[in-house]
């Protein structure tokens, strides 16, 4: 067992991100290089975050990892790729400077503990926050200061976008070695303070096919995906960047919906076809379009990843009425008071005109709950040692 003094521990948090121009398809599976660039919004860590502690000690005899309190196989290829990559960067730094290799702890084994503050069962993408947090925390432990896109990306492609706050692009790059496939901030989290994000957690009937397998099949079989990557996404990246920079909500919202729809169209164009959207997802799509049509203005946008949950964007002033519309279409079943989590949203009545315009047969329980959040910052270091998930012995603290 390690003695207290010999354990060096660092704890960091990292955010979830949601893509508005989607990443779908790799040109290099090993290096995790995408076939197109993508752009995402970083969500606030007050509502959704991963916390990770990494500890090194000369007394540890093997690398170990605990996720949400349970020990997992440290031999998973993606985890191994991240560990290899960060140790390579640390070695590079050591050989470039005059750091003491022992101080860098390069020969030491690492213990890692990671927890999410949101339920994994909700089917919210946790791998992006998880691998971004792992890369960021390991970098602090090993004293690596270079760009961490490559480390995070090797865990999960979308994770490199969680290394920054605000609005983030992942440039696909051109090089075969992936050195120019990096994440970059387009605008900071303070840029668009009125923007709000609602996560509509739907009741999932089945576990959807994972992104990695899904996108591999799409790359192999979908001509639409190739067309999208080559002929659609480049112009969309430029247009989305403009919408963000100019805070053009209708432009941002329309392009977000179109890109989500095209991503799901490439899934349907995959052979055998992949379908991530459920009946409830489609009801949300129709609700958003009817809400916008009623207002004769694009005030709300949806986007869906590789699962049935919707992520909805709206400006601050629109949120109360939209939430009332969601409650009308999907009456909460048993947990009426717990239906809305996160940022407070004042209740407002729904006008008879809007009710009529929505024109729905309500689906009780179709949406389990809503998480209301906003754009947030990138990874953070927690300086307070009480935040460590690993105790002085290098094992998870009981509460972790």
Residue ranges in contact with ligand DP6 by CB under 6 A: 19, 22-24, 32, 38, 125, 127, 156-158, 211-212, 305-306
Shortest reach from residue 355's CB to ligand DP6, in Å: 33
Q: Give the nearer residue to ligand DP6 in terms of CB position, either 249 or 263.
A: 263
Shortest reach from residue 151's CB to ligand DP6, in Å: 13
Q: Give the nearer residue to ligand DP6 in terms of CB position, either 21 or 326.
A: 21
Q: Give the nearer residue to ligand DP6 in terms of CB position, either 282 or 297.
A: 282
Shortest reach from residue 80's CB to ligand DP6, in Å: 15
Q: Give the nearer residue to ligand DP6 in terms of CB position, either 6 or 212.
A: 212
Shortest reach from residue 342's CB to ligand DP6, in Å: 21
Position with the least CB separation from ligand DP6: 157
Q: Give the nearer residue to ligand DP6 in terms of CB position, either 11 or 37.
A: 37
Shortest reach from residue 150's CB to ligand DP6, in Å: 13
Q: Give the nearer residue to ligand DP6 in terms of CB position, either 105 or 157.
A: 157
Q: Give the nearer residue to ligand DP6 in terms of CB position, either 14 or 19.
A: 19
Q: Give the nearer residue to ligand DP6 in terms of CB position, either 10 or 152.
A: 152
Cα–Cα separations (whole angstroms), residue 337 to 202, 211, 331, 334, 342: 17, 33, 12, 9, 13
Shortest reach from residue 97's CB to ligand DP6, in Å: 32
Shortest reach from residue 47's CB to ligand DP6, in Å: 18
């Amino acid at each position: 067992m390690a003695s207290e003094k010999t354990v060096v521990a660092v704890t960091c948090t990292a955010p979830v991100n949601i893509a508005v121009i989607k990443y779908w398809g790799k040109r290099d599976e090993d290096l995790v290089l995408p076939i197109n660039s993508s752009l995402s919004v970083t969500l606030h860590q007050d509502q959704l975050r991963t916390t990770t502690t990494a500890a090194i000690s000369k007394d540890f005899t093997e690398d170990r990892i605990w996720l949400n309190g349970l020990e997992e196989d440290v031999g998973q290829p993606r985890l191994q790729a991240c560990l290899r990559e960060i140790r390579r960067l640390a070695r590079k730094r050591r050989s470039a400077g005059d750091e003491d290799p022992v101080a860098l702890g390069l020969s030491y084994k690492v213990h890692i503990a990671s927890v999410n503050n949101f339920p994994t069962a909700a089917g919210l993408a946790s791998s992006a926050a998880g691998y971004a947090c792992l890369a960021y925390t390991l970098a602090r432990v090993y004293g690596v200061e270079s760009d961490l896109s490559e480390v995070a990306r090797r865990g999960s492609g979308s994770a490199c976008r969680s290394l920054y706050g605000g609005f983030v692009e992942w440039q696909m790059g051109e090089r075969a070695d992936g050195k120019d496939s990096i994440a970059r901030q387009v605008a900071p989290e303070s840029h668009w303070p009125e923007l709000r994000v609602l996560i509509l957690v739907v009741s999932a009937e089945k576990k959807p096919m994972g992104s990695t397998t899904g996108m591999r099949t799409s790359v192999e079989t979908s001509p639409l995906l190739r067309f999208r990557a080559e002929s659609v996404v480049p112009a969309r990246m430029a247009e989305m960047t403009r919408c963000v920079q100019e805070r053009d909500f209708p432009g941002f919202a329309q392009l977000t919906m179109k890109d989500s729809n095209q991503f799901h169209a490439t899934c349907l164009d995959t052979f055998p076809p992949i379908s991530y959207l459920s009946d409830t997802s489609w009801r949300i799509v129709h609700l958003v379009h009817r809400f916008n049509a009623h207002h004769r203005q694009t005030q709300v946008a949806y986007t869906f990843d590789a699962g049935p949950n919707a992520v909805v964007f709206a400006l601050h002033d629109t949120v109360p009425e939209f939430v009332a519309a969601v409650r009308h279409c999907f009456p909460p079943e048993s947990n009426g008071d717990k239906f809305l989590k996160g940022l407070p949203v004042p209740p407002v009545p729904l006008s008879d005109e809007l009710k009529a315009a929505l024109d729905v047969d309500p689906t009780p329980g179709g949406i389990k709950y809503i998480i209301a959040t906003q754009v947030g910052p990138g990874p953070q270091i927690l300086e307070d040692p009480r935040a460590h998930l690993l105790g002085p012995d290098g094992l998870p603290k009981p509460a972790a």
